[in-house]
């Protein structure tokens, strides 16, 4: 059976000079396990191929005329997305064990982000927090980096929960 694909047409956003990445990530986060994603854009979105590949998706791109493209992102069978990490994440495999654990799977955005950021404010530099969320926290990741923290994360084997380690930094001056 061919997996279903949720469709998002970002051509109007692009034609109006907008940036559709936020809309794309929201659509991806709303996918059911095993569900694919169909993107329609005014160009071949090659930078998105790597982003989606890290999330466990293959892609198939087809030009549909007038310079427009249709891209099918399909989850890899049995595949688990690569671990994503902040640019500053230094050797997460040797980070100390988490001192704090948060199960945020029952909360709707932005509550998981709010709680994680509040907890990091109470932690000492070098301490590690483990959080489980119901979706990938794409808006939390840059905020953690902005505040000088490191993070690593990925989806669990079922693709239904996002696991994240946050190592508190000294903060940005």
Task: Please write the tens of the pLDDT for every residue from 104-128.
Answer: 999 999 999 999 999 999 999 999 9
At the second CATH level, the architecture of 5-75 is: 2-Layer Sandwich (3.30)
Q: Which residue has the higher pLDDT, 29 or 35?
A: 35
Q: What pLDDT score does 34 carry? A: 73
Q: What pLDDT score does 86 carry? A: 80
Quote the CATH superfamily of domain 84-167: TusA-like domain (3.30.110.40)
User: Cis omega before residue 160 (within 30°)?
Assistant: no
Q: How would residue 161 be classed by pLDDT, with cut points 50, 70 and 90?
A: confident
**What are the extents of the domains in the chain?**
5-75, 84-167
> What is the β-pairing status of strands 100-103 and 128-133?
parallel
pTM for the structure as a whole: 0.56
Indicate the Cα dihedral angle 145, 146, 147, 151, nearest 10°: -10
Q: How would residue 1 be classed by pLDDT, with cut points 50, 70 and 90?
A: very low
9 pLDDT above the threshold of 60 = yes
Helices (H), 96-164: 111-122, 140-146
The distance from CA 18 to its chain's CA centroid, rounded to whole angstroms, is 20
Average pLDDT, the chain: 87
80 pLDDT above the threshold of 60 = no
2 pLDDT above the threshold of 80 = no
Q: Is 89 exposed, middle or buried (0-12, 13-18, 19+ CB in 10 A)?
A: middle
How far from 116 is each of 63, 96, 122, 141, CA to CA, in Å?
42, 18, 10, 11
Beta carbons of 169 and 148 less than 8 angstroms apart: yes
CATH topology match: 5-75 vs 84-167: yes
> What is the β-pairing status of strands 84-85 and 150-155?
antiparallel
The distance from CA 97 to its chain's CA centroid, rounded to whole angstroms, is 23
């Amino acid at each position: 059976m061919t997996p279903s694909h949720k469709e998002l047409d970002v051509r109007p956003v692009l034609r109006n000079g907008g940036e559709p990445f936020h809309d794309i990530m929201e659509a991806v986060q709303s996918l059911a396990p095993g569900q694919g994603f169909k993107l329609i854009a005014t160009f071949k979105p090659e930078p998105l191929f790597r982003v989606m590949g890290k999330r466990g998706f293959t892609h198939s791109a087809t030009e549909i005329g007038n310079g427009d493209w249709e891209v099918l992102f399909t989850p890899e069978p049995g595949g688990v997305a690569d671990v994503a990490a902040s640019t500053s994440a230094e050797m997460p495999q040797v980070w100390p064990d988490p001192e704090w654990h948060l199960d945020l799977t029952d909360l709707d955005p932005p509550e998981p982000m709010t709680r994680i950021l509040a907890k990091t404010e109470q932690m000492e530099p070098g301490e590690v927090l483990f959080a489980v969320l119901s979706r990938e926290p794409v808006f939390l990741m840059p905020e953690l980096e902005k505040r000088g923290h490191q993070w690593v994360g990925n989806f669990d084997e079922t693709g239904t929960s996002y696991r994240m380690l946050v190592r508190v930094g000294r903060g940005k001056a």
